[in-house]
Each structure stands twice: as C-alpha cells, then as structure tokens.
A and B are shown apart, each in its own frame.
Chain A
Amino acid sequence: MKVALVGNPNSGKTSVFNQLTGLNQKVGNYPGITVDKKIGRLNGDKNISVLDLPGSYSIYPKSADEEVVTRVLTDRNNPNYPDLVVVIADISNLERNLLLFSQIHDLGLPTILALNMIDVAKRRSLEIDIDKLSELFRTQIVRLNARKGIGIKELKEKIRSFEFNGSLEPILEGEFDRNELLTIPPKTVQREFAEKRNRRVSQMVRFALRQHGEDIFSRNHRRVDKIMTHPVSGYLIFLGILFLMFQAIYAWAEWPMDLIDNVFLGLSRGVKQTLPAGVFTNLIAEGLIPGVGGVVIFIPQIALLFTFIFLMEETGYMARVVFIMDRLMRPFGLNGRSVVPLISGVACAIPAIMATRTIDNWKERMITIMVTPLMSCSARLPVYTLLIALIIPDMTVGVFNLKGLVLLGLYLAGLVAALLVAMIFKFMVKAKHKSFLIMELPLYKMPRWENLLVTVLEKVKVFVWEAGKVIVAISIILWVLASYGPVDRIDEAVNRIPKPVNELDISGYENKVAAARLSNSYIGIIGNAIEPVLRPLGYNWQIGIALITSFAAREVFVGSMATIYSVGENFQEGESLLKRMQNERNPNTGELVYNLASGVSLMIFYAFAMQCMSTLAIVLRETKSWKWPFIQMIYMTTLAYVAALITFQILK
C-alpha cells in the first residue's frame, strides 16, 4: 500500500514522516523546508510505503514545490499515486488547513485526517469536537503531537487497517469530476470554487471548534514579532545575528581547528617515520594526509554555519527575515524569499538552490538560482584561510584583527557581487508573471536539540565524505602526473643543468634537478601551457594546476597544493605546506610567488569563480535547461578572471 502525507506547509508532515518511518528528514519551522518528495517504509511494516511531500495550500499549484504534490495526487499513472492520503492539518489553524483536505477528499482520494500540534492548540485554548468533525468531513481522524510522537501509534494502526468504502459524497459539489483527469481551470474558476469551499469549510468548522477565553499565546508571539520586525531593532537583530555567525566561524572555531591541524601534522610525521622514505611515502604524508586534513579541519566551521541556519529556521526567525528583507530585495530583482537561499548559500549552494523552489515567481527564482553560488560557501573557507595565513600580516586595525577583516571583506564581496549581478539579470530575464509575496509567519518554536545534532552531523558527514573522495582521487592523479613525464624531455632538461663542481653545490644542484623534473613532468607541461593566461593575474603554473583541479570542486585547492609541493622539492623535514608556499620564489625574478597582490587576486578569483560541478548539476535539474548552468559558468568565470586581473594589476 502507498500512503502519501499531504498538508499545508509547516503543518508537520516531515515530523510525522520521520516518526512513521524512523528516517531523519529535515524538519524546520519555515513554510517550505521540504521541496521534494521522499519515500520511506512504515516502521514494522515493509509492505506500506510512506511518501513525504512538500507543503501545499491548494491542489492548484502556485510554485514549483506545490507542483510536485499536484502531480502525485492527480495522475493515476504516477508511480507514487497513493492508495491512501494522510492529510496533516495544523489544528491551531484549522480552517485554512481543511480547505486542502476538502479538495483532496472531493478528488475521490481515500483520506485520513491527522490533526497535528495538539499541544499548540491546547496552549491557545482551542477545543475541538473530534466526533463532530469526523462526521462532518466524513473521514477518520487522529490527533497528533508529531514532535513528541503522541498519537503516532494510533495513526499507524489506522493506516494498517484502512479500508476504503467506495467514493464518498463530496464536501463541495461540482468542482471535480472523479472519473476524469484533473485539468487546471482558469483563475476565475479557481477563485470562485476556493471562495465557496472556504465558506463551506468555515461553516462546518464552526460546529466543531471552540475557543475558550483569550488567545494569550498568540498575543505574546505577536509582541515578539513587533520587536523582530521593527525598523530599528529588526535590522539590528538581523545584523547582530549575521555578525555573531561570522564571529563564530572565525573566532570560536579556532581552537578545535588547531587541534585537528595538530592531529594531522602528527599523522604525517608518524607516516614519514614508519614508512620507508621515497616518493610514495611523500604522496601519503605530504599529499594525501594534508589534503584530507585540509577538509576535516573545516568541520567546526561548517558545523557552526549549519547550526546557525538550523536555529534561524527552527525558531521561526527565518520567516521574519524574509518579511523585513522583502522591500530591500525588490530593486535587485529578488524576493524576500530569496534571502533564505542566499543565507544558506553561505554554507552550501546545493541545498540553497533547492530552497528556491518556494519562490513563487519564476523570474525571481531564476535570478536567485543564478546568483546564489556567488555567496561564499563553506568550500571556499579552506582556500581563504590558507591564503590569508600566507599573505595577511598578523596585526590589528582599531579593535579588529586584520585577518578577520579580510575574511569578512571576502564574504561581503560575494554578497555585493550577487546583488549587482541580480540587478543585471533583472533587466535581461523576461518576466512571465507578476511578482508577489504571500506567506504565513509561523509561531515561534523552541528548537529541538537532538534534531539539531542529527541535522548538523548529517551535513558534516556529507561534506567530508563528498569532498574527501574527490580529494583523494585528485591527489593520486596529480601525484602520478607530477612524478612522471616524457623521459627524453626530463633527461634533456636535467642534462642542461651544470654539474656541481664541489661539495657545497650538491644540494643546490639536487634542488634544481628536482625542479626541472617537476616542470617537465606531465603536470608541469600542462601547467606551463596555461601559465601565459594566468600570468597577468599573478599566478605561477603550480597555481594554474590547482585552478584546473578545482574546476570540479574548489575545496580541492589545498590538497592539490599539498600534492604538488610534496613532489620533487627537497623540503625540510616537518616543514608545513604553509612554510613551503611562503618561501616559494619565482625562479626568474626571485620575487616571492605568494605576495599580497597575487594572494588577494587568488582569493578574489575563488570568491567569484564557478568551481563546483555539483552546483551546476543542481542548477541544470532545477531549471530543466542547459542554458542556465551554461550562462552561470561563463559569467562567473569571466567575472572571476576580470576581477582577479584588476586586483593584481592594482596591487602589484
């Protein structure tokens, strides 16, 4: 049997889904957390599949996430077409929730009505006559508190023993023909039926719902809202939260990061001591371990970022941010709802782009998708951190640490670029419909801490695993390409180096031979070939290689650097990647390779460049056209190149 969970956004569908299946899908107090369908199996009954769906206000979809629901419920040939629909309704907001229920009922789908959030209803002094409601709406009813799992057992029982006794009399006559496929009627008809339906449902609810005394609970929430949306305190609180978020990833994450760093340094040293010396040991100790370490070290920062976003969503604050930012986003061709993808884009562009499904307006959604990858995601942090440590001196400006300021500047550069590019797209993309913002502001909620833990662990696991796989693979390929090359060419280059005449010259000679070998290896040949294009930006061929390998995933940068610098060079025992990069000089001019100009230019390049295959794949999936990811890659790469070029030419 196939069971689908349907209901208004934020009514608790995913919470119920998690309870029924034992899975851990993302839950949050923001209308539009779930944007795609997800299938699970009923706990203890493998024959019953449970489908979680995005929230929907009506069977006539108004946005991309609502379309998913309509497609499943109205097409009998859809593989997910349910045998039973469990409508999850927020009991503290019954009338609007039952509008959707009545549509589904009238479509002829077998239903069970689950009234969720009984705890909230109680606190709002709402009393519901279940028998009456059940009789009026001709359906079985269960009461739930999906957060605590109350009523879940009863719901399971009802699902298992469900039997559909033919088509029931519709709640509102005349809207649907049960024998025919649903066609979406014109707006005037939709609206006419919605009004009729609302009146009918409202009449029926009046019989079953009673409010005892005043609703002090909602009143208190609205007091908080007045502060959160106030012209002064509203923006101050929002800026304060952003500042705290930044402070957290910059300062608080430092000591666990140092700890991880030391562990990996120790690991490298241990490997060097136990394995026989040689190129292979170098690959492991100087390439692979620092490469993987370069990702693992960011776990504290990524965990903090996801924690902040989780808390903003789960408390209900995110919806208020949308509310106060809408007016400010409009001139840029964006919508208040674009703020959610832009903020979550600071953690990762992939879920952020998925989150754009809740933006009703197609044009605003496309623009949001196009600019979200400009927000500095967590994969850029390793690059920024390494380069900042390399070139920015440890000093304070006023009360601020210069390194922290540079990092902040990079995040701001991403944001400003996103807004400006959005403005350009605003004039280029044609609007199909008028833009609007009609959104529920949910009640504030206390976050559930175990939920936070599960969500953040999951995100961290995905990040480390995905990035780790790519880094190990690329490190090995790079190492092979850097260790081998056309034999004649290497011999020729080595022979050209004058032989040492005395003992003192030997180490210098060895260094030169190693350098010649590297630059005539396969990787050196590729690197040298692209160097002319990158020289105006201040990069040498090693950086060029790191850029090429970063094309698929930018977090590979540190690992690539580590691998390239582990091959050939005769570095001192225990010298860190940072030291080696710091001492790297241009063999022709003798200048430091990583100086202020080239370093900042490189950071700017990484801030703007599209170096993430997974993001492009998601953009393709979400826009259903090759055009958008293609334009995105071209414009971001161009922007990155030009901005880096200008930066280097000014600073040098």
Chain B
Amino acid sequence: MTLDKLTKNRTATITHIRQNSIAPKLVEMGLYPGKRVTLLFKAPMGDPIALDIDGYTLSLRKEEASFVEVD
C-alpha cells in the first residue's frame, strides 16, 4: 500500500520510497524505511494530508505521499 491510501488515525511503517525527484526531500523530512507514521487529518477534499512523525506534524500532498510505500 502507499501512504496516500492510509485512512485517518491509522499508523503504518514505511517500507520503501519510490525513486523520484522529490525522494531526497521526503527522506530529509523524516520519511524513510522503518519509520512509523500516523495519518492525523486531511485538508478539505482530502488533499493535502497531515502525518505524525515522532510527534511532529508534516503535511504533504497525496501525490507526494503516493511515492511512499507503507505496511
């Protein structure tokens, strides 16, 4: 599954970041294999989404989230 499919209040572990031009940015913001993330809330119309990573809130668009594979 990819991160954009995660439903609200669910937690998942990142397994892989697909190769993409923004992949380094995602990793630098704390999304990398092994990290556990929780979907906190979504913007109106479901996009962008907000995640919890170690207690900080990261927002990103669904498109960016679709490069992140989770379990």
Chain A residues with a Cβ under 8 A of chain B: 57-58, 60, 62, 92-93, 95-96, 99, 124, 187-188, 190-191, 194-195, 198-199, 215, 218, 222, 225-226, 229-231, 234-235, 319, 323-324, 326-327, 336, 433-434, 436-442
Contact = CB atoms under 8 A, between A and B. Distances in A.
B28 A93 contact: no
Contact of B55 (A58, A215, A324): A215
A327 B55 contact: no
Query: Which of A222, A323, A434, A438 counts the most B-chain CB atoms under 10 A from its CB?
Result: A438
Given A231-B44, A234-B44, A437-B59, 10 more contacts: A96-B56, A229-B42, A229-B43, A323-B48, A326-B43, A336-B48, A436-B63, A437-B48, A440-B57, A440-B59
Contacts of A433: 21
Chain A binding surface, main DSSP class: helix
Contacts of A198: 27, 30, 32, 35
Query: Which of B19, B26, B28, B47 counts the most A-chain CB atoms under 10 A from its CB?
Result: B28
Given A191-B23, A225-B40, A436 B64 contact: yes
B56 A93 contact: yes
A442 B56 CA distance: 8
A99 B21 CA distance: 20
Contact of B24 (A95, A190, A230, A441): A190
B59 A434 contact: no
A195 B43 contact: no
Query: Which of B23, B53, B63 counts the most A-chain CB atoms under 10 A from its CB?
Result: B23
A438 B19 contact: no
A225 B57 contact: yes
B19 to A, nearest CB: 7
B70 interface: no
Interface of B: 17, 19, 21-30, 32-35, 40-45, 47-48, 50, 52-61, 63-64
Given A62-B25, A187-B24, A222-B40, A441 B61 contact: no
A4 B42 CA distance: 37
A324 B44 CA distance: 6
A124 B55 contact: yes
Contacts of B22: 434, 436, 438
B62 to A, nearest CB: 10
Contact of B64 (A57, A222, A336, A438): A438
B50 A438 contact: no
B18 to A, nearest CB: 11
Contacts of A188: 19, 23
A218 to B, nearest CB: 5
Contact of A194 (B24, B55, B58): B24
A198 B32 CA distance: 8
A323 B32 CA distance: 23
A547 to B, nearest CB: 43
A327 B43 CA distance: 8
A68 B62 CA distance: 29
B29 A438 contact: yes
Counting from the closest, the 7 A-B pairs by CB-CB distance are A231-B44, A194-B27, A190-B24, A441-B57, A191-B24, A58-B28, A93-B56
B51 to A, nearest CB: 10
Given A326-B48, A327-B48, A437 B60 contact: yes
Nearest to A92: B55
Nearest to A437: B61
B59 A323 contact: yes
A199 B60 contact: no
B28 A99 contact: yes
Contacts of A231: 44-45
B9 to A, nearest CB: 10
A171 to B, nearest CB: 15
A436 B47 contact: no
A236 B24 CA distance: 36
A441 B58 contact: yes
Contacts of B60: 436-439
